Amino acid sequence: MPAGAAFACLGECMVELRARPDGLLSRAFGGDTLNTALYLARLGVGVDYVTALGDDDLSGEMLAAWAAEGIGTAHVRRVPGRLPGLYLIETDGRGERRFLHWREAAPVRRLFDPDEADATEAALAQSQRVYLSGITLSLFAPPARARLVATLTRLRAAGGHVVFDTNYRPRGWPDPAEAWSAFAEVIALSHTVFASVEDMAHLTGEAAPEAILARLDGAGVAEAVVKLDRPACLVRHGGCTEAVPAAEVAPVLDTTAAGDSFAAGYLAARLAGRDPPAAARAGHRLAGAVVRHPGAIIPRAAMPAPEDPA
C-alpha cells in the first residue's frame, strides 16, 4: 500500500447508468465502498481500493478515473476476458433510488478464490484500517467469506481496525438469516460499525435504536453509528450515546451514495482528531451535498468547503 494510505477499501465498482429526463442514459461509475474511497481521497485521506476488474476499456477508464482522484490502484486485479458489473439507477419524485444490477459474472467475485486469495489477503494485510460493507460480503460465496473473515481476524489480532457498514441489500442474499450470520462475524471483529435502523430491522427484527446499540456493544464494537429513520444518527463511543441531527436539505435529487459519503466524512473527521459527534456532523454535511446531485459521485466543485476544526 502506498506510504500514507490510511485505509484499504474492499468491494466492487460498477458501471453506473442513470436515466435522463430526455429518456437517454448517462454513464458514470460507482459502488458503495468505492464511493467511500473516492470521498475519503477528496477529503485528503490516503486510501487504496482492493477489487478486481476486467481487461476491457471500461475497466481501464475506471482505473484512470480513480488514479486521477488520488485513490491507490496498486491492488486492483485485472482479469482477462471479464467485464465489470453494471447497475441502473431509478429515482422517484423524492429522490429515493432503486438499483437494477447486472453483476453475476463480475471479476471481483473471484478475489477470494484459491488462485487469487493470497494476493488479496496480502493487500489487506498491508493496511492498518480496512473498510468493507454488507454489499462486499454479498459478493462472495461462503468459503470465500470464510477466507475474508480469517484475514480480518489476523488484521485485528495485529492491532488493525476493521470498519464495517451494514449496507444490506436483500437481493444479494438467499435470506436475511444467512446475511446476518455473515454480518455478525464481521461485526464481532470491527472497531467501528455504521448501521441503520432499516438494515437492522430487516436482518434481526430489531428496530429500536438503543437496542441496536446494545447489540453492537455486546459484540465488542468500540464505536457505533446508527442511522435513524429520520435525518439523524446516534453515535456511541466510550460508553456515551449522543443524537446528532442532520440539517434539512432541499431539494433532494438522488440519495445514491448518501450513506457512503457520510461514512467518508465521518472517518476523515475522526482521523483528523474530531470527536464522534463532530465526525457525525461532518458526515451529515458531506451527505447533504451529495444528495443534491444525481448519481453517486458529485462534481469536485460541489464538495463542501472544509470546516473550521475549532
Strands (E), 148-222: 161-165, 192-196
- Tell whether the torsion through CA atoms of 294, 295, 296 and 300 is positive or negative: negative
Radius of gyration of the chain from Cα atoms?
18
Single out the catalytic residue among 32, 217, 260, 275.
Answer: 260
254 CB-side CA count, 13 A = 19
- Concerning whether 165 is annotated as a catalytic residue, the answer is no
**C-alpha distances in Å from residue 269, one per residue of 5, 8, 252:** 15, 17, 24
CA atoms of 113 and 174, how far apart (whole Å): 20
Rounded Cα distance, 125 and 10, in Å:
12
The answer for residues whose C-beta is within 8 angstroms of residue 246's C-beta and 6 or more apart is 231, 232, 233, 284, 287, 288
Separation of alpha carbons 2 and 45, rounded Å: 12
Work out whether the CA dihedral 248, 249, 254, 258 comes out positive or negative.
Answer: negative
Can you say how many angstroms the Cα of residue 264 is from the centroid of all Cα atoms in its chain? 8
Which residues are identified as catalytic? 260
